[in-house]
Structure 1
Amino acid sequence: MAWSTRELANLAGTTVNTIRHNHRLGLLDVPERKYNGYKEYEVRHLVRVLRIRRLVDLGVPLSQIGEVGAGGDSTPDALRELDAELAANIERLQQARSDIASILRDSAPADAPAGFESVASRLSEADNSIIHITKQFYDEDALADLLKMVETDTQAVSAEIDALPADADDATRQRLAEQLAPDLARNMIAYPWINDPGEHLSQSEHLTQQTFFEALVELYNPAQLDVFGRATVLAQEQLDGADDESGESG
């Protein structure tokens, strides 16, 4: 019995284009043709297509099907490598499902930084962007600390800074800096690596500083940057003052 290309595709549960593609790759022999020019596929062709499908279903790339299907010495190694890739894909998919569950539970933006779903909805667009960048430069320990900082952040002050216009007056900037400084000082005490982040960086310190400088300038307006700068100076002064008092009492 002989089958046409379409009949073979139907029997094998695939498509005519796939059969033709297998021919082009040299995975399937081209059969003899009838007097009218149509191909005549036999049982061996059907079996071959089914074997190819089996390997494809396992995830074997088309470029490796000939070698793996031949059962050579390299086949076990190829299958082990494939199994490792599948395990990594499964882990990635499981993490994606977990992240989606967190996004839905916390009503977070779909593109919220991973791990920050619980706080993303109350952060500004600029703050969310900074966290996305931070995840590319800092390790998991630092990111866990960053999440704690955001969770304990004074939301009223942050909201006012988020809405601060670029031409805000000096008095408003100073007031916000003074309100923000205690939070910064507490974070500097609780997380000393903030001032010396080297061991938590995945990139060079120079590249990290350069990237964050450019990001801050682009994402925040001059008034907001001024508040951050003033607050940082005030926070450091508070820490220095506390150290001086501690030294005197000692």
Structure 2
Amino acid sequence: MAWSTRELAELAGTTVKSVRYYHQIGLLDEPERAPNGYKRYEVAHLTRLLQIKRLVGLGVPLAQVAEIGIKDHDGLAALFRTIDAELEATVEHIQNIRRELAVLSQPGAAADVPAGFSAVAAPLRDNDRALLTIYAQLYSDESMDAVRRLLESDPTPELDEAFRDLPEDADDTTRQALAERLAPFVRRPGDDHPVKLVPKASKPHQAAAVQSTIQHALEALYNQAQLDVLRRARQIDKRPE
């Protein structure tokens, strides 16, 4: 018994276009033709087509099916392990997405702050939320956990408000007084600081890019008086004891 291209495709649950493409790239041998010029597919063609379809369904790229060959068991085993590892990573990624979606589906959840920050987002303003989003991209998960814990403890709510409400034209006395109060919280992170910001970047030039990005973000998100207060606070911390 022989089948036409259409019949073969229907039997294999694929399309005529796919069958022709497999011929074109050398995955499926061309069958003999009947006297009337029509192709005549045999059981061997159907078997081969089903094998190809199975491998493609498992995620094997066509180019690798052709390169390795269905009978190359060692090559296929290595390829299957690679695909399985990729699928495992994909599944983990999807599970993380589902967990985050579950959190964002809760009443009061905030979608404009990093995952895990919804509970502490209420007092934050748009510029604070934007900076947190940038932090989450640039700093390690451990760093962001430390930031979240600090916000949860909210040790200085009145001081936070004073900084957020600081007007652009704040006078020198107001700036200096606020800087004195902020100094313990803005010094460079160290062992005695509640937040240690560690960049995700591992190479020196990447770490430098992180610092440059954060500085640019601060300048874009906060007014000049606030930036001046931060600079003063850092200078206060550098004074010798």
TM-score with structure 2 length normalisation? 0.74
Distance 1:35 1:230 in 2: 93
Q: Which residue of 1 aligns with 2:138?
A: 137
Change (3 A) 1:59 1:150: same
Question: In structure 1, the residue corresponding to 2:31 is in which secondary structure?
Answer: coil
Equivalent residues of 1:22, 1:28 under 8 A apart: yes
In structure 1, runs of 5+ residues without a counterpart are 245-250
Q: What are the equivalent positions in structure 2 for 1:141-180 lying under 5 Å apart?
A: 141-153=142-154, 158=160, 167-170=168-171, 174=175, 177=178
Equivalent residues of 2:112, 2:129 under 8 A apart: no
Q: Which residue of 2 aligns with 1:210?
A: 212
Q: CA deviation at 1:27?
A: 1.3
Q: Which residue of 2 aligns with 1:247?
A: none
| Residue among 223, 226, 236 paired with 2:228 | 226
Q: Which residue of 2 aligns with 1:52?
A: 52
Question: In structure 1, the residue corresponding to 2:106 is in which secondary structure?
Answer: helix
Equivalent residues of 1:102, 1:118 under 8 A apart: no
Distance 2:233 2:2 in 1: 83
TM-score with structure 1 length normalisation? 0.72
Distance 1:121 1:30 in 2: 67
Q: Which residue of 1 aligns with 2:31?
A: 31
Give the counterpart letter for 1:128 in structure 2. R
Question: In structure 2, the residue corresponding to 1:69 is in which secondary structure?
Answer: coil
Change (3 A) 1:3 1:157: farther
Q: Which residue of 1 aligns with 2:64?
A: 64
Q: What are the equivalent positions in structure 2 for 1:193-208 lying under 5 Å apart?
A: 194=195, 200-203=198-201, 204=204, 205-208=207-210
Equivalent residues of 2:146, 2:194 under 8 A apart: no
Equivalent residues of 2:31, 2:41 under 8 A apart: yes
Distance 2:159 2:6 in 1: 69
What is the CA RMSD across the aligned residues, in angstroms? 3.8
In structure 2, runs of 5+ residues without a counterpart are none
Equivalent residues of 1:33, 1:39 under 8 A apart: yes
- Compare the two structures and name the one with the higher helix fraction: 1
Equivalent residues of 2:120, 2:152 under 8 A apart: yes
Give the counterpart letter for 2:7 in structure 1. E
User: Mean alpha-carbon deviation: is it higher for 218-227 or for 91-100?
Assistant: 218-227
1:88-120 deviations in Å (ceiling 9; x for gaps): 111111111111111112544546423334445
Distance 2:30 2:142 in 1: 59
Q: Which residue of 2 aligns with 1:16?
A: 16
